[in-house]
Each structure stands twice: as C-alpha cells, then as structure tokens.
C-alpha cells in the first residue's frame, strides 16, 4: 500500500475553495489534530472576487450540518442571493437572426409518467416554438415578470 496523503493544498479561494477546505478539515479532523495531515488554502490578495454567482445544490443543508455551520445564520449574515436559474440574454441567435435568450432552470432529474421531460418536449413542445426551459420550469416566466423567492427574515 502507498504512503498516506499527508498534505492537501487547495489553490484558489472563493466559495468553492473555502467550502472545500472546510469540508476536508472536518472530514479529516482526527488526522489534522494528530499532525498526520495538513490542509493549506492559497488565495491571492491581488485577484478580486469574480462574483459569478456560484449556485448551491439541494445538498447544501447537509453540507452545512456536516461542517457545523448554522444555515439560518449563514443566510442572515452572508448577504446571500437565491438563484433559481441561469439567464443568458443574447446567448445565440434565432433562425431569423434575432437575439435569443436561454434559461438554465436548474431542474433536477425527475420523470413524468415514467419518462423524462425531454421526451414530452421533443414530442409536443417544439411545435409551439417555446424553449425547453419554458416547458419544464416556471423560471423563465418568473424572470419575465421580475419575480423571485422572498429572502427569509
């Protein structure tokens, strides 16, 4: 068997880097406490926050519980934004050359009557000219109406 890993270096901070480091530190707390493991995060003071709006997943509450972070306090104090989808205006062009918008509705994998929503879109939805996201998600309509979830508190 090979030599056990003694050191992990995470290059880049931000949400992903810091959550990764925190998760690993929690998962390997025994090894760290005994001196058998170190975790280092390298973050440049010269690179500004990108602010791309990292999305979280339904697993976030479990992650917070695992690392010992209170979800309600996090939401209250971290200036969070609730993101329902990704909106790309002018992402591509329609056949007539007009700009096309596209919405990634962040839908999970689910079936309707045993079939993927893609099946129903390909069979029935394309005839209407609507985008797939408009068929399977309320997000495009919410965006068009400037609607979104309420922030708790």
Known catalytic residues are 83
18/29 Cα distance (integer angstroms): 16
Asked if residue 97 lies in contact with residue 152, where contact means CB atoms within 8 angstroms, the answer is: no
Q: Return the number of other C-beta atoms located less than 10 Å from residue 140's C-beta.
A: 21
Q: Return the number of other C-beta atoms located less than 10 Å from residue 117's C-beta.
A: 17
């Amino acid at each position: 068997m090979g030599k056990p890993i003694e050191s992990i270096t995470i290059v880049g901070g931000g949400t992903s880097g810091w959550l990764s480091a925190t998760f690993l530190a929690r998962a390997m707390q025994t090894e760290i406490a005994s001196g058998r493991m170190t975790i280092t995060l390298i973050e440049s003071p010269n690179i500004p926050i990108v602010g791309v709006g990292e999305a979280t997943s339904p697993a976030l509450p479990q992650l917070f519980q695992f690392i010992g972070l209170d979800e309600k306090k996090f939401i209250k104090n971290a200036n969070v934004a609730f993101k329902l989808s990704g909106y790309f205006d002018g992402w591509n062009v329609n056949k007539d050359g007009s700009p096309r918008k596209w919405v990634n509705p962040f839908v999970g994998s689910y079936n309707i009557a045993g079939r993927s929503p893609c099946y129903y879109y390909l069979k029935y939805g394309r005839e209407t000219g609507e985008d797939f996201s408009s068929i399977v998600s309320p997000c495009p309509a919410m965006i068009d109406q400037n609607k979104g979830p309420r922030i708790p508190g």
